[in-house]
Amino acid sequence: MIFNYPNGKPYRKQEVQKKAPAKKKEIQYSNRGMTLEADLNETNEYYRERGIAVIHKKPTPVQIVSVDYPKRSAAVIKEAYFKQASTTDYNGVYKGKYIDFEAKETRYTSSFPLQNIHEHQISHMEAVMKQEGICFLIIRFTNSEEIFLLDAKRVLEFWNRKEQGGRKSIAKSEIETFGHQIPLGYQPRIDYIKIIDKLYFK
């Protein structure tokens, strides 16, 4: 079966394999180098198992192009495209409040490029905020393994600055000032609920 990205470029399995952490690195740094998505999925599972919160990753929408029917009772997808997600990565509920957030990684050491966020995601964040939902961005600087939670209100401020001709990225110093660092732990891996408690449940 062939999967393609929205730009038509074929999805190749080895592209994912290149991102897998080296065995030696895992042993020396206690799973340091795992993707942000993997760490968050593990964290969310921890929350669900203990009844803390119910938060899931939204499935990536797929558009099926070609289907083969070798048998009447079975269909085989031959070609499909990953469609661009129209919202953010994660959503769920915590203490009766709707939670919605996007997770991003960057290899830049001194800034986070705003091109990593799409305009439709900004619109979605605005809509969530209007409904008084809790919305934010989780950013990981991969080189230093630093993780920050940045409230959607701040994200929108930096986005509007860009739209008005300002800088096209958020300086790391700004993220350190207006965001909240999340220490990388063991169980859970990325305990962002502690930050949510501090910011939204005072």
How far are the Cα atoms of 52, 101, 171, 182 from residue 91, in angstroms, in the given order? Answer: 14, 6, 27, 19
Tallying the residues shown for the chain, one arrives at 202
pLDDT at 114 over 50: yes
Give the Cα separation of 39 and 22 in Å (integer). Answer: 16
pLDDT band per the 50, 70, 90 thresholds, residue 196: very high
Range of the domain at 134: 2-200
The reported pLDDT for the residue numbered 68 is 75
CATH code assigned at 14 = 3.40.1350.10
pTM for the full model?
0.74
Share of the chain above pLDDT 90, in %: 64
The reported pLDDT for the residue numbered 69 is 75
The 10s digit of each residue's pLDDT in 23-45 is 443 323 334 446 899 999 999 99
- Crossing angle for the helix pair 119-130 and 152-163, nearest 10 degrees? 130
The 10s digit of each residue's pLDDT in 144-176 is 999 999 999 999 999 999 999 999 999 999 999
The reported pLDDT for the residue numbered 26 is 38
Number of domains in the chain: 1
Rounded to the nearest integer, the mean pLDDT of the chain is 83
Q: How far apart are the first and last CA of the chain?
A: 50
The H or E element containing residue 22 is none
- Edge-to-edge strands of the sheet including 74-82? 2-4, 74-82, 62-71
Non-local (6+) Cβ contacts of 57 within 8 A are 37, 40, 41, 44, 89, 90
